[in-house]
């Protein structure tokens, strides 16, 4: 273990949590065992859209192991309400979302009834004993078709299935289009994917009738938000609810929300007075846990002969699924439209977004959330312009990226905090040896081999958010973060953070940064998270906000500790406070470094006072709430190299390079891990992953036999590199690093495939670029040629 | 992922197993379990009883008997993959096993299980079919030998009668002048064959004396591409004759597609491409 080196920040410290997790010693929700636990199973609608005419649970109720069967009516009668929406937009339609369907089932997987039994086998057996009389209704799956007159209506409250309309305008796009040397129009589909955490969702609910305390152990990314949403849904006092998210096996956004199943688990625990456990199966996860993306977009781009892009006009139909998942309204709006400026000078942008209900699983944030959709559009746009002009895509990017800046006001609301886009672009081109790669591509084409080089130059927004800005735009919660830093009498430290780690490595990186701040060993710092009773408040982990917001809160609390410790040290050293210097874990008198006390000696004095006067408050602990003044904007350039088999359409990824700038790096190894995972996630969308429904709303990709997760043998070793442009927004100069890989890689891979197919005249193929899609595009191109 | 209730039997002799099957006509035979158990966990299969063959001695192992390589039904993929006898006498089988499933599947899955299951996208059915093997089974009426050409009769259906247990597969060893290859286009999710083609070619004086080509994935069950076989028979073996024969591979096959990954039209195309590639590789391997 690293013993307080020169600086811990920036050191490649191995993850503290790994020995526990990789030896099977983690505590996941399903590992929790409570005496008397009963098991919950949910009966889900097999129809995408159906009226529920009658539910007869009498046969299930007499099953010897069944404790109870609940329906939507039961929950409503007992005052369980609709799951609230966490982000409101002007004129948004808010049809209710009850934890169990009441009148209609609206997607395949919609919960219709719940069984609680003595064991899981019996619970599943009993599901088949519940008789539901459905009246199947016409379903709508395609979000554009859903807005047309005569389309099936998902909710009476939302005519034409439109939940909201959102628009932003910068400059004068129509003029840019009129004055352009050329215009490209393209429809692109950013298809639906599943977050696919390895651990599905799970819950254990405990209820103490004597005190009224309700405890929910749950796979989530933000226990306080879950507590708040649960209190509102169940009309139950927030202070009587405790939510604990222990070890969580990946979230990728899908575990931000309060879901119906967890509410039912709490309700059942209260009704039965027994612990109730619910663990999702993979098949349920693919049906009942939110999906991501799902945009149909038409865009027009205006450009000049020299490659300057002057205007972009966008219309997007965003599929919301059957109900509004709590943060769904935010994703295709504020996390998407303002990012359509991208890393470019692009002065004129207008975008219109329709959020549309369909008979499909609800859609909300999954890794990237809005920014992958924006970046995919922009990066396809740049390559299409390059193709029209017969220019190298790298040259078009050079022409259009912003010059280095600090605090750049974009024409679409955001102020980018810091950036040097030409630097990451040039670094990436240099590292792949771009000119030589192009030469090799030419040479191989002569031999009938088709390799393609794809670039993706991105900027994304992380570190949400200035709370007042978020609330003014519709957020129903602030977006700050809290932390307590507690120094114990022996000088050991516990950091309590509102961030939540479910793979990100906070137990290491937060400990690393605080140990660095105090000049102590990382082994002396423990990070506690994921329990509403332990943490003052937390907004949790999503949108790459933990390091810029959560760690910053802990760092600020640490500064308060140092301030107080300096006072104590002054007494111990019998010197003026102003003369005390704190460095490398030692407090000393300026100019006399041998007159020193250690951090540990100061800590002891704070609890066992020998020299400090009575008017100095004892203890050494500080709380901080950090509300950032701005978002932070990581950026970079990724390069993918692929080979396409023109006979089968099979794509092979040969090489992948990521050059990112995520501000100051706490732990390069952890950032590499985030980049690797993120890149795989984005490649998965580009080549393999897709949620597919048929026209009736049946899910055709309901298991991992059909939903194609990326697999190691299909991937090359990744090359990563970083530049560090500090953020001016927080004292550590950090930005978020959890989603850059996902955002950048999807277009890099798609651009690479289309670059490989350039000799055939293929300009665009919608994702995922399955062999058949590539083969069909080649067939079509050959037919024309 | 929780199966319905079932009885579990673990007989220690073949006779006991056959008796159990007689007493429980709806029972399923459990070998490696890597197809059956997932289906039961999804409640797609709800057999009232399982008869596990794992404790029956003598059902696994690989041996040479004259010009036949004999592989016991309970022999795992891993044992085939790492067998010197297989490498020496039917190298294509060992090589092809590299692309069957993953490590766990190869450690548990069995030769007999794969054949008896007749999965439309299984690898072994096509390979064993192309190799012109025969299958031994024991049933209430005693033992019988089934030529592999008569074994696969439908999706998840074989010539095995109710109450019969597949005991071994007998593969002719590959002599001089023969070569074989299995080419697989795996599904990115399941790693099952979207299309798999196994070609076995016998050559004399550069003339194709015999070609057996079997297709999996694209068809409802492993099926021989007889039109391509006949097109090659008696021809000089070169890239042109192989291409011409491969073009005819889909003839007479009932090719099916799916709506997510590979349509019927695309699979038909792949049958041609993979047949050509398998034939080219088989010829390359002639020794």
The answer to whether position B133 is within a domain reads yes
Supply the DSSP string of A266-284, one letter for each residue: HHHHHHHTS-EEEE--HHH
**Chain-chain contact of B5 with A125 (C-beta, under 8 angstroms):** yes
**What does the pLDDT read at residue B96?**
97
Task: Tell me the C-alpha distance between A773 and A701, whole Å.
Answer: 17
The answer to whether position B1 is within a domain reads no
Task: Tell me the C-alpha distance between A232 and A225, whole Å.
Answer: 11
Structure tokens at A480: 């700050």
Looking at the structure, do residues B94 and B186 belong to the same domain, yes or no? no
Task: Tell me the C-alpha distance between A758 and B236, whole Å.
Answer: 38
Helical H segments across A506-598, by residue range: 506-518, 552-573
Task: Tell me the C-alpha distance between A393 and B71, whole Å.
Answer: 57
- CA proximity to A264, closest of A245, A246, A280: A280
**What does the pLDDT read at residue B1?**
75
Q: What is the DSSP letter of A161?
A: G
Interval B119-138: pLDDT, tens: 999 999 999 999 999 999 99
Task: Tell me the C-alpha distance between A74 and A130, whole Å.
Answer: 15
Span B1-24, average pLDDT: 95
Interval B134-162: pLDDT, tens: 999 999 999 999 999 999 999 999 999 99
CB-count burial class (<10 Å; 0-12, 13-18, 19+) for B259: exposed
CA angle A716, A718, A722 (to 5 degrees): 165
**What does the pLDDT read at residue A784?**
64
**Chain-chain contact of A647 with B263 (C-beta, under 8 angstroms):** no
Q: Tell me how many domains chain B contains.
A: 3
**What does the pLDDT read at residue A3?**
46
Span B156-184, average pLDDT: 97
CA angle B77, B82, B83 (to 5 degrees): 95
Looking at the structure, do residues B40 and B70 belong to the same domain, yes or no? no
**Chain-chain contact of B188 with A281 (C-beta, under 8 angstroms):** no
Contacts of A119 in chain B (CB under 8 A): none
**Chain-chain contact of A690 with B260 (C-beta, under 8 angstroms):** yes
Q: Which residues of A touch B (CB under 8 A)?
A: 120-121, 124-125, 281-283, 647-648, 650, 687-688, 690, 692, 694, 700-701, 703-709, 711, 714, 770-772, 775-776
Cα-Cα end-to-end distance for chain B? 48
Ordered strands of the B62-65 beta sheet: B62-65, B68-72, B165-172, B134-139, B142-147
Helices A393-400/A371-389 angle, 10° precision: 120
CATH code for the domain of B15: 3.30.43.10
Helices A260-272/A223-234 angle, 10° precision: 60
Phi, psi of A273 (to 5 degrees): 65, 30
Domain A18-25+480-626: which topology? Answer: Aldehyde Oxidoreductase; domain 4 (3.30.365)
Structure tokens at B253: 């096959």
Looking at the structure, do residues B33 and B123 belong to the same domain, yes or no? no
Domain boundary assignment for chain A: 18-25+480-626, 421-461+632-785
Residues spanned by the domain of B79: 62-172
Looking at the structure, do residues B146 and B214 belong to the same domain, yes or no? no
Phi, psi of A226 (to 5 degrees): -60, -40
The answer to whether position B216 is within a domain reads yes
Q: Give the residue from A772, A773, A774, A776 with the most B CB atoms within 10 Å of its CB, the best one to mutate.
A: A772
- CA proximity to A158, closest of A217, A64, A93, A207: A93
Contacts of A120 in chain B (CB under 8 A): 2
Interval A113-127: pLDDT, tens: 999 999 999 999 999
Q: Do domains A18-25+480-626 and A421-461+632-785 have the same CATH topology?
A: yes
Contacts of A647 in chain B (CB under 8 A): 273
**What does the pLDDT read at residue A385?**
98
The answer to whether position B2 is within a domain reads no
Task: Tell me the C-alpha distance between A82 and A100, whole Å.
Answer: 10
Residue A775: strand, helix, or coil: helix
Structure tokens at A437: 């790669």
**Chain-chain contact of B261 with A770 (C-beta, under 8 angstroms):** yes
Distances from the Cα of A239 to the Cαs of A213, A497, A532, A780, in angstroms?
Answer: 9, 19, 10, 63
**Chain-chain contact of B266 with A772 (C-beta, under 8 angstroms):** yes
Contacts of A692 in chain B (CB under 8 A): 259-260
Q: Give the residue from B261, B269, B270, B274 with the most A CB atoms within 10 Å of its CB, the best one to mutate.
A: B261
Helices A668-687/A740-756 angle, 10° precision: 50
- Please tell me the distance in Å from A282's CA to the nearest CA on chain B: 8
The answer to whether position B129 is within a domain reads yes
Contacts of A281 in chain B (CB under 8 A): 1
The answer to whether position B57 is within a domain reads no
Looking at the structure, do residues B162 and B186 belong to the same domain, yes or no? no
CATH code for the domain of B214: 3.30.390.50
- Sequence-distant (6+) residues with CB within 8 A of B245 are B211, B228, B229, B231, B232, B235, B275, B279
Looking at the structure, do residues B231 and B164 belong to the same domain, yes or no? no
The answer to whether position B222 is within a domain reads yes
Looking at the structure, do residues B148 and B85 belong to the same domain, yes or no? yes
Distances from the Cα of A74 to the Cαs of A115, A260, A275, in angstroms?
Answer: 12, 14, 19
- Please tell me the distance in Å from A183's CA to the nearest CA on chain B: 34
Q: Give the residue from B188, B264, B269 with the most A CB atoms within 10 Å of its CB, the best one to mutate.
A: B188
Phi, psi of B88 (to 5 degrees): -80, -40
Looking at the structure, do residues B148 and B77 belong to the same domain, yes or no? yes
> Of A124, A650, A700, which has the smallest distance from its Cβ to B259's Cβ?
A700
Contacts of B1 in chain A (CB under 8 A): 281-283
**Chain-chain contact of A772 with B263 (C-beta, under 8 angstroms):** yes
Block mean pLDDT (10 aa), chain A, length 785: 66 96 96 97 98 98 98 97 97 98 97 98 96 98 98 98 98 98 98 97 97 98 97 97 97 97 98 97 97 98 98 98 97 97 97 98 97 98 98 98 97 96 98 98 98 98 94 93 98 98 96 98 97 96 96 98 98 97 96 96 97 95 97 98 98 98 98 98 98 98 96 96 97 97 98 98 98 98 76
> Of A692, A709, A775, which has the smallest distance from its Cβ to B266's Cβ?
A775
Phi, psi of A206 (to 5 degrees): -125, 140
Q: What is the CATH number of domain A421-461+632-785?
A: 3.30.365.10
**Last-in-domain residue among B172, B192, B212:** B172
**Chain-chain contact of A705 with B189 (C-beta, under 8 angstroms):** yes
Provide the CA A472 distance to its chain's centre, in angstroms: 22
Size of interface A-B (CB pairs under 8 A): 58
Strands (E), A629-717: 635-644, 651-661
- Please tell me the distance in Å from B273's CA to the nearest CA on chain A: 8
Structure tokens at A101: 């369907």
**Chain-chain contact of B261 with A120 (C-beta, under 8 angstroms):** no
Task: Tell me the C-alpha distance between A369 and A363, whole Å.
Answer: 10
> Of A701, A703, A775, which has the smallest distance from its Cβ to B269's Cβ?
A775
**Chain-chain contact of A120 with B273 (C-beta, under 8 angstroms):** no
Contact (Cβ atoms closer than 8 angstroms) between residue A128 and residue A60: no
- Please tell me the distance in Å from A650's CA to the nearest CA on chain B: 9
Neighbours of A175 (CB within 10 A): 13
- Sequence-distant (6+) residues with CB within 8 A of A183 are A177, A300, A301, A302, A303
Structure tokens at A409: 């006001």
Helical H segments across B6-60, by residue range: 14-23, 36-41
Looking at the structure, do residues B226 and B250 belong to the same domain, yes or no? yes
**What does the pLDDT read at residue A783?**
84
Looking at the structure, do residues B185 and B257 belong to the same domain, yes or no? yes
């Amino acid at each position: 273990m690293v013993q307080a080196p020169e600086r811990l920040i920036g050191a490649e410290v191995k993850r503290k949590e790994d020995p526990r997790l990789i030896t099977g010693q983690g505590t996941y929700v399903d590992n929790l065992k409570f005496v008397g636990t009963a098991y919950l199973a949910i009966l889900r609608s097999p129809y995408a859209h159906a009226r529920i005419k009658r539910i007869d649970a009498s046969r299930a109720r007499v099953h010897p192991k069944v404790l109870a069967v609940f329906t939507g009516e039961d929950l409503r009668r007992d005052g369980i309400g609709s799951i609230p929406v966490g982000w409101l937009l002007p004129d948004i339609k808010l049809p209710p979302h009850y934890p169990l369907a009441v009148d209609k089932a609206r997607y395949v997987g919609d919960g219709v009834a719940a069984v609680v039994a003595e064991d899981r086998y019996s619970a599943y057996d009993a599901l088949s004993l519940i008789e539901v009389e459905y009246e199947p209704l016409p379903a709508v799956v395609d979000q554009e078709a859903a807005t047309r007159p005569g389309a099936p209506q998902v909710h009476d409250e939302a005519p034409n299935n439109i939940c909201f309309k959102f628009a932003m305008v910068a400059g004068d796009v129509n003029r840019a289009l009129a004055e352009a040397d050329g215009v490209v129009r393209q429809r692109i589909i950013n298809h639906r994917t599943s977050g696919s955490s390895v651990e599905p969702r799970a819950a254990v609910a405990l209820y103490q009738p004597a005190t009224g305390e309700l405890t929910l152990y749950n796979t989530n990314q933000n226990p306080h938000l879950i507590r708040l949403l649960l209190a509102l849904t169940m009309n139950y006092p927030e202070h009587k609810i405790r939510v604990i998210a222990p070890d969580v096996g990946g979230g990728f956004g899908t575990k931000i929300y309060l879901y119906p199943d967890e509410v039912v688990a709490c309700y059942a625990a209260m009704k039965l007075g027994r612990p109730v456990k619910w663990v999702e199966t993979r098949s349920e996860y693919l049906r009942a846990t939110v999906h991501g993306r799902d945009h149909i977009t038409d865009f027009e781009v205006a450009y000049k002969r020299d490659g300057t892009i002057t205007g972009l006009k966008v219309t997007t139909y965003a599929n919301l699924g059957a109900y509004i998942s709590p943060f769904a309204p935010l994703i295709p709006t504020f996390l998407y439209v303002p990012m359509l400026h991208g890393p470019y000078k692009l002065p004129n942008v207008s975008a219109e977004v329709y959020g549309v209900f369909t008979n499909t699983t609800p859609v909300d944030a999954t890794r990237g959330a809005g920014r992958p959709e924006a970046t995919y559009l922009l990066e396809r746009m740049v390559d299409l312009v390059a193709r029209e002009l017969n220019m190298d895509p790298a040259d078009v990017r050079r022409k259009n990226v912003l010059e280095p800046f600090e605090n750049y006001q974009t024409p679409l609301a955001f102020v980018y905090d810091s950036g040097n886009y030409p630097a990451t672009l040039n670094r990436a081109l240099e590292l792949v040896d771009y000119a030589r790669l192009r030469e090799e591509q030419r040479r191989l084409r002569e031999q009938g081999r088709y390799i393609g080089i794809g670039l993706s130059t991105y900027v994304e927004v992380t570190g949400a958010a200035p709370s007042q800005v978020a609330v003014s735009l519709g957020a129903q919660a602030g977006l700050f973060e809290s932390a307590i830093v507690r120094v114990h009498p022996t000088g050991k430290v516990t950091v309590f953070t509102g961030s939540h780690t479910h793979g990100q490595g906070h137990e290491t990186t937060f400990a690393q940064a605080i140990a660095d701040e105090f000049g102590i060993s990382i082994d002396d710092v423990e990070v506690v998270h994921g329990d509403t009773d332990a943490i003052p408040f937390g907004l949790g982990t999503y949108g790459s906000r933990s390091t810029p917001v959560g760690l910053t809160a802990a760092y600020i609390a640490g500064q308060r500790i140092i301030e107080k410790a300096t006072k104590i040290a002054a007494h111990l050293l019998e010197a003026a406070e102003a003369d005390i210097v704190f460095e490398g874990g030692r407090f000393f008198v300026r100019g006399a470094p041998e007159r020193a006390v250690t951090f540990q000696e100061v800590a002891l004095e704070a609890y066992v006072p020998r020299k400090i006067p009575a008017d100095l408050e004892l203890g050494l602990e500080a709380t901080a709430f950090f509300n950032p003044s701005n978002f932070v904007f990581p950026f970079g350039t990724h390069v993918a190299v692929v080979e396409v088999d023109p006979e089968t359409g099979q794509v092979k990824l040969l090489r992948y390079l990521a050059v990112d700038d995520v501000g100051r790096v706490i732990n390069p190894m952890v950032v590499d891990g985030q980049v690797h995972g993120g890149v795989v996630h984005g490649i998965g969308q580009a080549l393999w992953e897709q949620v597919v429904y048929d026209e009736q709303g049946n899910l055709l990709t309901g298991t991992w036999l059909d939903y194609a997760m990326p697999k190691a043998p299909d991937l090359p070793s990744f090359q990563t590199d970083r530049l560090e442009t500090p953020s001016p927004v927080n004292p550590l100069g950090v930005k978020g690093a959890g989603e850059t890989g996902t955002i950048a890689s999807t277009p890099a891979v798609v651009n690479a495939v289309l670059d490989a197919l350039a000799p055939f005249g293929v300009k665009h193929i919608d994702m995922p670029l399955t062999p058949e899609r590539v083969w069909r595009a080649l067939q079509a191109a050959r037919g024309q040629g | 992922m929780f199966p319905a209730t079932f009885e579990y039997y673990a007989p220690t002799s073949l006779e006991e197993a056959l008796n159990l099957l007689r007493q429980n006509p709806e029972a399923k035979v459990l070998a490696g379990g890597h197809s059956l158990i997932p289906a039961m966990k999804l409640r797609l299969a709800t057999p009232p009883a399982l008869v596990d063959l794992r404790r029956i001695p003598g059902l696994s192992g690989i041996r040479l008997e004259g010009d036949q390589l004999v592989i016991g039904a309970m022999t795992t993929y891993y044992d085939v993959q790492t067998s010197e006898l297989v490498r020496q006498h039917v190298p294509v089988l060992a090589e092809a096993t590299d692309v069957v499933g993953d490590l766990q599947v190869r450690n548990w899955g069995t030769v007999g299980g794969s054949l008896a299951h007749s999965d439309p996208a299984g690898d072994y059915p096509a390979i064993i079919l192309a190799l012109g093997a025969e299958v031994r089974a024991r049933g209430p009426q005693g033992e019988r030998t089934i030529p592999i050409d008569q074994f696969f009769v439908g999706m998840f259906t074989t010539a095995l009668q109710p109450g019969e247990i597949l005991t071994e597969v007998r593969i002719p060893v590959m002599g001089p002048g023969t070569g074989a290859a299995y080419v697989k286009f795996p599904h990115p999710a399941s790693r099952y064959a979207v299309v798999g083609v196994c070609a076995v070619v016998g050559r004399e004086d550069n003339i194709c004396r015999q070609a057996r080509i079997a297709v999996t994935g694209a068809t409802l069950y492993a099926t021989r591409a007889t039109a391509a076989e006949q097109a090659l028979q008696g021809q000089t073996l070169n890239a042109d004759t192989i291409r011409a024969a491969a073009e005819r591979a889909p003839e007479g096959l009932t090719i099916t597609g799916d709506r997510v990954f590979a349509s019927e039209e695309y699979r038909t195309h792949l049958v041609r491409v993979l047949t050509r590639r398998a034939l080219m590789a088989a010829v390359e391997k002639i020794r």
